[in-house]
Structure 1
Amino acid sequence: MPAYYSQPAAANYSSPPPHAQKQRGYRICDQCGQVETPVVRFRLCGGCMVTQYCSQECQKVHWPHHKAICQHTTSQIASIKQHAASYPDENIAKNLRKFCSAHTSLLCWVGFQALQLKRVPSNIRQHALIIDLAPHNHPEGQRRFSVASTRIVKRSYIGDPLVLADIQRRDDRCRQNGGIGALVVLVQCAGISQVMPIEVDPPSKISWDTREDWAAVLHHFVESGRTDFQPISTTARGNIQYGY
């Protein structure tokens, strides 16, 4: 999934780009690894509504491996719905998934910068980035949040063994393909979490500049509702694959 970005992350971010372009190729099929394009549109698992597949055939083949985490996620979502009255928005889990889908490219870049993976690739094995959101009213689901805080924690913060096992599976797959592992970003709001394991190529293949203002960039794009984020890249190289 090569990508070339000619503008820095924060450049012109007070106004929309002159020609709106859809982000391309940022999801991968969890079975065969094919990259999504505007021509090949992926399907979500009907149970967990998180994992993506390029075809029904791949979904069927992968089911024995996906079954445990899928049923676990589905039960978590059902539990949230049963206790919806205790949340500020009964559709918060659904809107959180919309938020993560709309801001996938941004969240990946922020996690990469926050963990300083360009300089210290080994951080990917020990740490995770948590993004805490605060809910607010907005007609668009993915815009019903604002960034409350960000923090870096140990991966052991994730206590769910099934989720950890799924992250480890993605870790192993990424490293077998020459990557450095799965970057973990957790997006949280009102006690609900969306875990995003992002499979990352070696830093030598990622040409993004190191940026210290990642938190400010995150705040701006979320608060403004912009979903056209593109990280800086100084060469035609660059390959990031998004697991969720």
Structure 2
Amino acid sequence: MAAVAYAHPSPAHQLGKQARGVRLCDTCGAVETPGLQRFRMCGGCMITQYCSPDCQKRHWPSHKAICQHTTSMMTASKQQDASAEESMAKALRKFCSGHQNLLSWAVFQALQLRRVPGNIRQYALHVELSYRNHPDASRRMTVSSTRLIPLSYIASRDPLVAQDIKRREERCRANGGIGAAVILIQCGELSQVMPAECDAPSRIPWDTREDWANILERYVEAGRTDFKPITTTSRGVIYG
């Protein structure tokens, strides 16, 4: 089981008129400003992001263990079947990086956190992917199935990942959130874990959607990375 990502719903009370679902710097918590500042990704795990080289350097001592753990597991998988596994590993990393907003929204809906916030401490969302050799690199993954699994299953399989999830959960709660909603993304023998740090449901204006699994499948199938949650207000429907 490999990497841990950081995807925060970035609620309206923090971002004002900015688009929700943007990224946060894993060191200082700065919010990425679409169109003005693009955060840099960690070159190892290709998931954790930073607002500046300085923040990346300062975070390295604490990020080093989980980052090297991810890299070593990906390298081991590549050695089993150099061509096929390498392509699949790259596609999985690209999938996790490109669909952070979609996945964090999907786990919020799947766990029904609007109605039952306590589910965040009991369950995780398991997304099973299939790999295909599509000419469009953004469409090489498709969603085979989605289901809820016990959160304890993930924690028991990899202590290092469990430790990183706990760190992010504690940080989120210290900032007024309810914790980290966990997504296990699996393709064949490869897997990655993404905790999506969630604010209090009362402060997240996203509409509740029962068709979240279909929406997830459609966006992934089309290779679209422009997903924005839907919010219905007295002024109409807002995307993002």
Identify whether the pair has TM-score above 0.5, normalized to the shorter chain: yes
Residue number in structure 2 paired with 1:229: 227
1:152 aligns with 2:132: no
Q: Pick from 138, 142, 153 the counterpart of residue 138 of structure 2.
A: 142
Residue number in structure 2 paired with 1:200: 198
CA drift of 1:71 comes to 1.6
Identity of aligned residues (%): 63
Q: Pick from 53, 57, 70 the counterpart of residue 73 of structure 1.
A: 70
- Indicate how the Cα distance of structure 1 residues 71 and 228 shifts in structure 2: closer, same or farther if over 3 A, else same: closer
Q: How does 1:1-244 map to 2 (within 5 A)?
A: 1-2=10-11, 26-37=22-33, 38-85=35-82, 88-158=84-154, 159-235=157-233
- Indicate how the Cα distance of structure 1 residues 89 and 83 shifts in structure 2: closer, same or farther if over 3 A, else same: closer
User: CA–CA distance in 2 between the matches of 1:124 and 1:78?
Assistant: 32
- Indicate how the Cα distance of structure 1 residues 47 and 103 shifts in structure 2: closer, same or farther if over 3 A, else same: closer
User: CA–CA distance in 2 between the matches of 1:189 and 1:35?
Assistant: 30
Secondary structure, in 3 states, of the residue corresponding to 2:76? Answer: helix
Residue number in structure 2 paired with 1:241: none
Please give the per-residue CA displacement for 1:180-230, whole angstroms capped at 9, x wherever unaligned.
Answer: 001111111011112111111000101112111111111222222233222
Higher mean C-alpha displacement, 202-211 vs 95-104: 95-104
The answer to whether the 8 Å contact 1:136/1:145 transfers is yes
Q: Per chain length, whose mean CA-contact separation is higher, i.e. which structure has more relative contact order (CA < 8 Å, sep 6+)?
A: 1
- Could you tell me which amino acid in structure 1 is paired with residue 135 of structure 2? P
Residue number in structure 2 paired with 1:16: none
User: CA–CA distance in 2 between the matches of 1:25 and 1:135?
Assistant: 26
The structure with more helix, counted as a fraction of residues: 2
The answer to whether the 8 Å contact 2:123/2:148 transfers is yes
User: CA–CA distance in 1 between the matches of 2:84 and 2:40?
Assistant: 29
Structure 1 stretches lacking a partner, 5+ long: 5-22, 237-244
Higher mean C-alpha displacement, 117-126 vs 208-217: 208-217
- Indicate how the Cα distance of structure 1 residues 225 and 209 shifts in structure 2: closer, same or farther if over 3 A, else same: same
Structure 2 stretches lacking a partner, 5+ long: 1-9, 14-18, 235-240
Higher mean C-alpha displacement, 36-45 vs 210-219: 36-45
CA drift of 1:50 comes to 2.3
User: CA–CA distance in 1 between the matches of 2:167 and 2:138?
Assistant: 28
The answer to whether the 8 Å contact 1:25/1:35 transfers is no
User: CA–CA distance in 1 between the matches of 2:133 and 2:29?
Assistant: 37
CA drift of 1:46 comes to 2.5
- Indicate how the Cα distance of structure 1 residues 97 and 235 shifts in structure 2: closer, same or farther if over 3 A, else same: farther
User: CA–CA distance in 2 between the matches of 1:117 and 1:25?
Assistant: 16
Number of equivalent positions: 217
CA drift of 1:88 comes to 4.2
Question: What TM-score does the superposition give when structure 1 sets the normalisation length?
Answer: 0.82
- Could you tell me which amino acid in structure 1 is paired with residue 45 of structure 2? C
C-alpha RMSD over aligned residues: 2.0
